[in-house]
Amino acid sequence: MNRIDLQLLRDTLLAALREDIGPGDITSRSTIPTGLRGVARIMAKQALTVSGLPIAGEVIRLVDRDCDFLVLVSDGTTVPDRSALAEIRGPACSLLTAERTLLNLLQRMSGIATLTRRYVDRVQGTKARIVDTRKTAPGLRALDKYAVTCGGGMNHRTGLFDGVLIKNNHLAFHVSPVDSIRAARSQLGHLVKIEIEVHHLDDLPNVIEAGADVVLLDNFTPDQTRQAVELAGGRVPLESSGGITLENVRQYAEAGVDYISIGALTHSVPAVDIHMRIAPE
Amino acid sequence: MNRIDLQLLRDTLLAALREDIGPGDITSRSTIPTGLRGVARIMAKQALTVSGLPIAGEVIRLVDRDCDFLVLVSDGTTVPDRSALAEIRGPACSLLTAERTLLNLLQRMSGIATLTRRYVDRVQGTKARIVDTRKTAPGLRALDKYAVTCGGGMNHRTGLFDGVLIKNNHLAFHVSPVDSIRAARSQLGHLVKIEIEVHHLDDLPNVIEAGADVVLLDNFTPDQTRQAVELAGGRVPLESSGGITLENVRQYAEAGVDYISIGALTHSVPAVDIHMRIAPE
Amino acid sequence: MNRIDLQLLRDTLLAALREDIGPGDITSRSTIPTGLRGVARIMAKQALTVSGLPIAGEVIRLVDRDCDFLVLVSDGTTVPDRSALAEIRGPACSLLTAERTLLNLLQRMSGIATLTRRYVDRVQGTKARIVDTRKTAPGLRALDKYAVTCGGGMNHRTGLFDGVLIKNNHLAFHVSPVDSIRAARSQLGHLVKIEIEVHHLDDLPNVIEAGADVVLLDNFTPDQTRQAVELAGGRVPLESSGGITLENVRQYAEAGVDYISIGALTHSVPAVDIHMRIAPE
Amino acid sequence: MNRIDLQLLRDTLLAALREDIGPGDITSRSTIPTGLRGVARIMAKQALTVSGLPIAGEVIRLVDRDCDFLVLVSDGTTVPDRSALAEIRGPACSLLTAERTLLNLLQRMSGIATLTRRYVDRVQGTKARIVDTRKTAPGLRALDKYAVTCGGGMNHRTGLFDGVLIKNNHLAFHVSPVDSIRAARSQLGHLVKIEIEVHHLDDLPNVIEAGADVVLLDNFTPDQTRQAVELAGGRVPLESSGGITLENVRQYAEAGVDYISIGALTHSVPAVDIHMRIAPE
Amino acid sequence: MNRIDLQLLRDTLLAALREDIGPGDITSRSTIPTGLRGVARIMAKQALTVSGLPIAGEVIRLVDRDCDFLVLVSDGTTVPDRSALAEIRGPACSLLTAERTLLNLLQRMSGIATLTRRYVDRVQGTKARIVDTRKTAPGLRALDKYAVTCGGGMNHRTGLFDGVLIKNNHLAFHVSPVDSIRAARSQLGHLVKIEIEVHHLDDLPNVIEAGADVVLLDNFTPDQTRQAVELAGGRVPLESSGGITLENVRQYAEAGVDYISIGALTHSVPAVDIHMRIAPE
Amino acid sequence: MNRIDLQLLRDTLLAALREDIGPGDITSRSTIPTGLRGVARIMAKQALTVSGLPIAGEVIRLVDRDCDFLVLVSDGTTVPDRSALAEIRGPACSLLTAERTLLNLLQRMSGIATLTRRYVDRVQGTKARIVDTRKTAPGLRALDKYAVTCGGGMNHRTGLFDGVLIKNNHLAFHVSPVDSIRAARSQLGHLVKIEIEVHHLDDLPNVIEAGADVVLLDNFTPDQTRQAVELAGGRVPLESSGGITLENVRQYAEAGVDYISIGALTHSVPAVDIHMRIAPE
């Protein structure tokens, strides 16, 4: 997350603040005297991999420029339970108003990073890379994908615009996978790669010959995956997808694929436990 | 979800479409001939409680007004595995482009409804209502809260603006909970209720006397909860919160509280499995 | 008006500036040499209650960050004719360009505060609070309601989303007021209060028994109001509304109601006279 | 108000709806069963000059396309008390949700038209035209100015961008009014007219000779105005401004000026009384 | 370009940055280590008239506030080949990301200024002013028109809202040009001038008598133009338009017209050659 | 241009309309009676390749839904002088108001298509494809790139986000081109190709070995280009860029490169001549 990214995320963060604050935080307004200052400590309440602290800093800045945000660990770090992640000093009312939006972002993003890190750790020592999918929370694609990299994962394409992936639903309109690859190739720019989904071992040689740049093995068992790796013989990178869990991910990695994509990294995120304790300064 | 709500959600849905489509769906553009029409069937691939079909209809309408969206079940219905949920007919390219955004919404919303329904079923026969929190995905507050109602849950306040909840972080700036309630009451409009969080049984009588409209029992055990219910003697509604799971929720309900709020309903949502199968019309 | 509120008002203020400045202030551009600096003094030209100075500061900041805005009195203060309210120093051209938008805001907001203050003064010594309505200038709800508080008034609900008020037009769809209250109660969250409008004394006991939290006496005479206060016997707060003027407001207050809502506070605002005199620095 | 204007006003109207509806109309949602239809009758409750009915139609369309809006009188018509202005048929919930925003617009716009009409009637038979100013409600410039024309008034420039008016605050930076006119003329395009404010009769001949296209007589008495008219001798149009009321406006008109501008038309608008009665269809 | 203009252009510049950067500059992100700083030198690679440096500064500021932008020449200056125009110091990644958007703006704007300057130089010594038209790149009206002034040209009206120009397509709905002028005059405010297009010498006297403020001679030859100038006898300013090139523009100027408008200034802009060389600081 | 693209372009087109129409088209409003209908014929006034008709249709629809837009030729067609391109029927005022924005778009887009077509025709019979660059008008990237395809050209990457192109300014931060490729490869997703710019023949073998997917020959002469083609021996596609004109483009194509990118296609567009003639229906 560099400054450019934060600037481009501004509308997303403002929308999140607006839906929570609306016409005003009536609890803080009515209970906290104007002028009081506070200090907020953001703490991990479980072991986790951190993601989203620069985002949290941007949120607090959007709420009130008079807050000082001190980051205590870097995104991507795995910290033990009870670690301090950041400290904010500023008007008490601003800290209280920003709290929930800020935590909602941090808990989701660190949840994604933490889950990704577990998958990445499971395949350690193999050449397989853990990659994400487009199954992100609507509106949070950029944040979700950034969180995956904090957990050591790799990003697949961002959206429909920066990579071709021909899936079953596209193939329904073609006589053969080979036919669809040819149609795509004739229309696409020279910096575009074509990945295609196959569901049977038999389709693999054809799509490789037709010029696929990457092949996705959809819902293959680890055994079928091993056969596919042999059949491909290193001519194209292979990606496993579908039905892969923390339990079986290493089997896929050991079968020799290059990439393993996991929808659950972003579509079924367990929030990690992060608290914010606010006190008078 | 009536028409007004859908109209007000338009920017949220457009943002979701834009982050996925960006400058264009290069796979569909390059593989699907213009003019081809298709039919998409949206199917549950597990038992689930449905939420989000009107939203899905709005998404497809934003992508292409020439699509016909046929809803087959109502939001809030619990359906068995392999149930057809909706059918869309229209230009094949539009169906393919809308697919992922539409499913990301449906899978998250139905995931929330399904999880909520499980909690609601657990407390059946008691007077306890399952309520949500503000721990929603940033930008998706309205959708997440609507999904909770589809699962039979009840909505807590929408945001910081439509209800007062005095929490620990506010109390840090006051000499006593009673003091904070008085400060709030003197400033607030006559349609505003005040809820306050207590952490010890001892605080309960004081806040009731100070005029709290609702009391939240934070991280009480079921036993402590039962004592609180007795102590309150029906003078104010009580809400349990913190550390409540599918395993222990019924104990809280049987302890006699009025409301049980569960952050996990929206902060740790397992997406349910919903597919979209597209074929030539 | 704290920083968070100002940040959330940014789009409203920019829209006001844009409709006035459009593609550029051709008078100032063509008559004022670049580089000239000026000082602007904002003066009350009549006795008034001030509202909107922080907003004015935000407007000038949006036009040009190089301006220094010095507030001389606090919002809510009642000042005599010829009082200096604020002083701005900066590029002459920026002062001239911002002048009208800034004054339009200040004159309306201080107009509302001044009018509110007159009503509040009239009921001094009684327990009645003067409250506003939703009859605000479209797009200016937040500013109008803030101005009411500067005049010593209290805000009713902000909009349709943060409080229930069942009015005649809703009752047309119900067999009785009691029926409508029951319908509402069964659907609403536990932090929501229900206010209902009654037009006849006879309806009062029923709606109180049905559980209304507040009752609005619509177009009651002071006499009828006194009877209603007796009949209610303190069981619910009462609000008077309709046909109330500076002339008769005290009669309503003395009849013993808790709240008196006045649409004219915001729907028929006489702008107060505030000038801005600009000179070379 | 033609279609183009309505399209360009869309953001203004949506902002007005959003600030009132926010996350939802909880009263209508909880009391009105889905599926019920209603009919709303918009009635004048006093004699008034109508303005804003096409805007009202656009508002209801933004809330719900399923509503039919039937206009019964044209904008600009003066109607007696108890006249029906429009009728809307559609889902009861949509009518109730749109009511307040729609009336706020209609009451303000018709208030402006009604007040303008009174001024216009007062000067009937003279050549003087009643014109508005830039003292409009922030964000509502286009609506306020349109309403003035419905009352028979004429629009002055729209904003700072479409006409030059050199005022006292500009003159503070020049050695003489003549100097400022020359500076402006040398920089401006050939379709731009220059109006300049004078405060003393003595300045009039000079600014006319310096090439002013229109001269504004600021805070002149009717007597001084008559002298100015003579002195100008028809060489430039003259505009009176400052301190003009319904009581003295005819004196200014009879003094022979061409235009009389009245800030109060838009800065101190008394809302007219318009009701909306909703009933089951 | 003063600060107000830059503020109002913010959305235009952000849209330009967003369409280029989208979800991120993957080249710079993947090749430039975080923390590296660089210095960028913006150089003219041909003789040109500069326009757009303040805009370039705003672009870099939108990308990263940590960049220092040093302007080396003023907008409107004509510089020789190999002149340094500006220098930027900041994070290397930010410089690389901003480069193309910044250059696209500078090259177009300086291209317009350079072309305008050539026309202006051609008519030197005559009274004719070179003016622009509304034939600008959609979305870039303000920038294109500002660039014209940097080249010594004068701006015609900004858009349809700040000046009347009755063209052939309007006349098709009137019995005569005179008729159209009368219709317009009766409706327009007193600061609005009326320009009308004539296609034949014969129409000139009529439109002058009907009160046109300016007359546009559409597609007249230089000879016809001379006759028109004589016929008008200084009663109204004349503008030549249509078919005017660098080759024949002086003939029109010498024919005695006041204004010569050239669509090509903004609709057929040859970008000038400007480079940005970036190196480690 | 399918429906999805038009929907996503809506904000761009509205911004273009808004900058021209602003608070209203005062010429048409004051000269054209309400209710008059007209027919507009859009005609080519020179031979040209058409681009932008669906966009024009969207513009007219945004101005007024009551207009019927009849396309007479398809985008991409090359038509002779005096060809009719489209016809619009609707309220006369709407046609007049939309005219300029619509023509500005059509003339630029068809200008790009026409220029592209000339380049494409020049290289006919060779394998070289003409491709565009990111040197587009700020805000119009999508329209400019679409217009290139209408002229038979191919699109390079859309922006910084959908393809890697390592240029001189990136190489300034690396010890060697090979080093930069390795840095990039280690960070990028598996669907991303890497193109790198070389300035000397000697660099070519190294970057090919380092794994560049495409090599851009920057400012090579045709002779050097021929040598590069031989040296590359078909291992990677080659792209020529810099200093290529209609005069020498065929020499580059015959030298055997795969792609020739031309900045002038979009940065120096001569608008083609297209008229709109409006008459009463």
Confidence of residue E7 (pLDDT cuts 50, 70, 90): confident
B22–E contact, CB cutoff 8 A: yes
The string of pLDDT tens digits covering residues A7-29 is 779 899 999 999 999 999 999 99
The predicted structure's pLDDT at residue F8: 79
The predicted structure's pLDDT at residue C106: 98
Question: Exposed, middle or buried by CB within 10 Å (0-12, 13-18, 19+), for E154?
Answer: buried
The whole-angstrom distance between A144's CA and the closest CA on chain E is: 12
Cβ-Cβ contacts under 8 Å, A22 against chain D: 22-23
The average pLDDT across B202-207 equals 95
A4–F contact, CB cutoff 8 A: no
- 8 A C-beta contact, residue D133 and residue D159: no
The predicted structure's pLDDT at residue B108: 98
Instruction: Pull the structure tokens for residue D242.
Output: 């400052």
Residue in chain C closest to A65 (alpha carbons) equals C3
Q: Which of B189, E87, B13 is nearest to C155 (CA)?
A: B189
Reading across the β-sheet that carries C214-218, which strands appear in turn?
A: C129-131, C259-261, C238-241, C214-218, C194-198, C164-166
B54–F contact, CB cutoff 8 A: no
Options C10, C29, C45, C167, the catalytic residue:
C167
The string of pLDDT tens digits covering residues B86-112 is 999 999 999 999 999 999 999 999 999
Half-sphere exposure of E271 (CA within 13 A, CB side): 21
pLDDT for F257 beyond 80? yes
pLDDT for F6 beyond 90? no
Provide the number of CB pairs (under 8 Å) joining chain B to chain F: 33
The whole-angstrom distance between F2's CA and the closest CA on chain B is: 9
Q: To probe the interface with D, which of F11, F19, F20, F21 has the most D CB atoms within 10 Å?
A: F21
**Whole-complex ipTM:** 0.96
- Based on DSSP, count helices (H) and strands (E) in chain B, helices before strands: 11, 12
Could you give the percent of chain D with pLDDT greater than 90? 94
Provide the number of CB pairs (under 8 Å) joining chain B to chain D: 33
- In degrees, rounded to 5, the angle at the alpha carbon of residue D37 between the alpha carbons of residues D36 and D42 is 140
pLDDT for A52 beyond 70? yes
How does pLDDT run along chain D (281 residues), one tens digit per residue?
666 778 779 899 999 999 999 999 999 999 999 889 999 999 999 999 999 999 999 999 999 989 999 999 999 999 999 999 999 999 999 999 999 999 999 999 999 999 999 999 999 999 999 999 999 999 999 999 999 999 999 999 999 999 999 999 999 999 899 999 999 999 999 999 999 999 999 999 999 999 999 999 999 999 999 999 999 999 999 999 999 999 999 999 999 999 999 999 999 999 999 999 999 99
Cβ-Cβ contacts under 8 Å, E280 against chain F: 172-173
Could you give the percent of chain F with pLDDT greater than 90? 94
Burial call A161-191: b when 16+ CB within 10 Å, e when fewer? bbbbbbbebbbbbbeebbebbebbbeebbbb
Interface partners of A (3+ CB pairs, < 8 Å)? B, C, D, E, F
The 3-state DSSP class for residue D37 equals strand
Interface partners of C (3+ CB pairs, < 8 Å)? A, B, D, E, F
**DSSP output for chain F:** --HHHHHHHHHHHHHHHHHHHTT--HHHHHHS-TT-EEEEEEEESS-EE---HHHHHHHHHHH-TT-EEEE-S-TT-EE-TT-EEEEEEEEHHHHHHHHHHHHHHHHHHHHHHHHHHHHHHHTTTSS-EEE--S-PPTT-HHHHHHHHHHTT-B---SSTTS-EEE-HHHHTTSS-HHHHHHHHHHHS-TTB-EEEEESSTTHHHHHHHTT-SEEEEET--HHHHHHHHHHHTTSS-EEEESS--TTTHHHHHHTT-SEEE-THHHHSPPPP-EEEEEEE-
Among A155, A164, A192, the residue with its CB nearest the CB of F189 is: A155
Q: To probe the interface with B, which of C185, C191, C216 has the most B CB atoms within 10 Å?
A: C191
Provide the whole-model pTM.
0.95
The average pLDDT across B126-140 equals 98
- 8 A C-beta contact, residue B100 and residue A156: no
Residues paired with residue D277 on neighbouring β-strands, in sequence order:
D41
The predicted structure's pLDDT at residue C6: 81
Confidence of residue E35 (pLDDT cuts 50, 70, 90): confident
| CB contact (8 A) between residue A34 and residue C3 | no
Cβ-Cβ contacts under 8 Å, E14 against chain C: none
Residues of D annotated as part of the active site:
100, 135, 167, 197, 218
The predicted structure's pLDDT at residue A1: 65
E139–F contact, CB cutoff 8 A: yes
The whole-angstrom distance between C159's CA and the closest CA on chain E is: 30
Q: Which of F77, F61, F48, F50 is nearest to F13 (CA)?
A: F61
Half-sphere exposure of E113 (CA within 13 A, CB side): 26
Instruction: Pull the structure tokens for residue D279.
Output: 């009933």
Check if A218 is active-site: yes
The whole-angstrom distance between D128's CA and the closest CA on chain C is: 25
Cβ-Cβ contacts under 8 Å, F66 against chain D: 3
Cβ-Cβ contacts under 8 Å, B65 against chain F: 3
What 8-state DSSP symbol labels residue E145?
Answer: H
The whole-angstrom distance between B7's CA and the closest CA on chain F is: 16
The string of pLDDT tens digits covering residues A189-228 is 999 999 999 999 999 999 999 999 999 999 999 999 999 9
The predicted structure's pLDDT at residue D1: 64
- 8 A C-beta contact, residue F137 and residue E105: no
Residue in chain D closest to C192 (alpha carbons) equals D26
Among F162, F189, F237, the residue with its CB nearest the CB of A190 is: F237
Cβ-Cβ contacts under 8 Å, F94 against chain D: 2-4
Residue in chain F closest to A164 (alpha carbons) equals F191
A26 vs F89: CA distance, rounded Å: 54
- 8 A C-beta contact, residue F196 and residue F181: yes
The 3-state DSSP class for residue B212 equals coil
- 8 A C-beta contact, residue E113 and residue E50: yes
Cβ-Cβ contacts under 8 Å, E163 against chain D: 162, 189, 191-192
Residues of B annotated as part of the active site:
100, 135, 167, 197, 218
The predicted structure's pLDDT at residue B7: 78
A271 vs B268: CA distance, rounded Å: 5
pLDDT for F5 beyond 80? no
User: In this structure, is the dihedral angle defined by the CA atoms of residues D70, D72, D77 and D83, taken in order, positive or negative?
Assistant: negative
The average pLDDT across E192-197 equals 97
pLDDT for F142 beyond 90? yes
Q: Which of B137, C262, A239, D135 is nearest to F191 (CA)?
A: A239
E233–B contact, CB cutoff 8 A: no
Q: To probe the interface with E, which of A6, A8, A143 has the most E CB atoms within 10 Å?
A: A8
pLDDT for B29 beyond 80? yes
| CB contact (8 A) between residue D2 and residue F62 | no
Cβ-Cβ contacts under 8 Å, A148 against chain E: none
C178–A contact, CB cutoff 8 A: no
How does pLDDT run along chain C (281 residues), one tens digit per residue?
676 778 779 899 999 999 999 999 999 999 999 889 999 999 999 999 999 999 999 999 999 989 999 999 999 999 999 999 999 999 999 999 999 999 999 999 999 999 999 999 999 999 999 999 999 999 999 999 999 999 999 999 999 999 999 999 999 999 899 999 999 999 999 999 999 999 999 999 999 999 999 999 999 999 999 999 999 999 999 999 999 999 999 999 999 999 999 999 999 999 999 999 999 99
| CB contact (8 A) between residue E190 and residue D155 | no
The whole-angstrom distance between B100's CA and the closest CA on chain E is: 18
- In degrees, rounded to 5, the angle at the alpha carbon of residue A46 between the alpha carbons of residues A44 and A51 is 55
B156 vs B163: CA distance, rounded Å: 9
D212–E contact, CB cutoff 8 A: no
| CB contact (8 A) between residue B141 and residue D62 | no
The whole-angstrom distance between C243's CA and the closest CA on chain B is: 21
| CB contact (8 A) between residue B62 and residue F7 | yes
Among E4, E141, E158, the residue with its CB nearest the CB of C97 is: E4
The predicted structure's pLDDT at residue C1: 66
pLDDT for A89 beyond 70? yes
Burial call F32-59: b when 16+ CB within 10 Å, e when fewer? beeeeebbbbbbbeeebbbbbbbbbbbb
pLDDT for E1 beyond 70? no
Among E8, E141, E159, the residue with its CB nearest the CB of C21 is: E8
Options F167, F193, F235, F277, the catalytic residue:
F167
